Structure 1
């Protein structure tokens, strides 16, 4: 007999709004106490239209939240050394509290070297090796924004992780890998998979919590979702297509993120939240004391 339940949608847009409201209150408090608003510097190399759109959107969200933004647009011909120098200057600038290097930067640039030029205390996007190590060892630091947003969503919907089988499909340095480490830190049993994993379907079928982050639309079939599973779809492709066959998965999962409106809004919310936290810490203030959360998220 076919399973006919309908999953509850995990509203990333609504939760992101709460986080952004809290970040705005933080920014107001920081500005009032220090005379200087939190500042996020965005760095864009080249003229990729999608990247330019993302940066504009992030800067607009900053303005709405009372966070200043500084934009550095470099030509596509920028070398690795020039980009590293530019980011190093931002890292040393006391008026800049967070730095975002928009991906991609061009095949001729050593992206990892550019990321590592970001000072750890300004790595509000959680992209440096230092930040990944802190996530892995449970030390203070900034988390990768999309995995951090995923964890906030799971907490908001009271998803119990301890002892659960979590499957992460994807192994990127800023999404799949850190997502697995954050789940492991919460006592989930984590399996990493990717596009070359053999018999992926059988592993997906065992997942109590599935994080799809492989970047291939419809890569995971709805029929392979375990009945009652929690499905986090971190993929996005033109036409609002995620990595999971939504129509098939929604009849089997207990909770599922829509695409769009699930993981995406949480990523930007985490970026601004961590920028406000960075500004507070760099100003010698305690983030939690500035604006205590009104309710658990």
Structure 2
């Protein structure tokens, strides 16, 4: 294979390097290495039967023909999902602009400065709207973000709560059903006991280590949680709120009520429904919990030349 071809530079190994590599691992050939590595009973006995490769133009025609078979129906799903429109200026100048992204996954060190800047902007926006001190940039949807909040609050229980085996977690009946379903799945193996009920009737028992509220509620009602949070603090019960981030442009942000975690989805900021997700969740909390926050945090730093740069400041549990 010519070394001028794209494939030879990016796929496989150079012929000149092969003898040295085989010598280091103690094999006489690539075929011998495969035979030693892959059990014979799972190897194919004959070559794959593949159709002839399409040209790019043929492939685009083929995919367009397949896409034309889709039927578009109006959605009435509600409950945290919203029909949204992504402005063309965002599509063209950000989503389709290679200056903002790389071919690598966001988890690798080679992530572009442009993408890091977009993630930092995201974190800043979340902190501004929730009135929290810290936000991450790596969760998928509101339900999983709420489950991560429950897990984090479980992990940061006080020594006395762990000693007394305080394992109860209160979930408001106003929390979206898909979130409650995922909380049930995540809580069971951890030994967390979910208690679902009306937040106005919550007794703030010392058996509880945390609580989750919905803001606004699943039917759109807006509650003032100041009193709830104050009573919870008196009992060392941490409070998480699943919030509609667009509503926070008008409503009192949960951070001003003294809550410990705010989660939700940014789907309604322009991400299409996409058959249910993922929808760019947000997770905001206090500076004190930065070592327990799930995912990654993008931060500002200086490069080796002393110039402004962005980096993955914290990546604790990817």
TM-score scaled by length of structure 1: 0.36
TM-score scaled by length of structure 2: 0.34
Q: Which has the larger radius of gyration?
A: 2
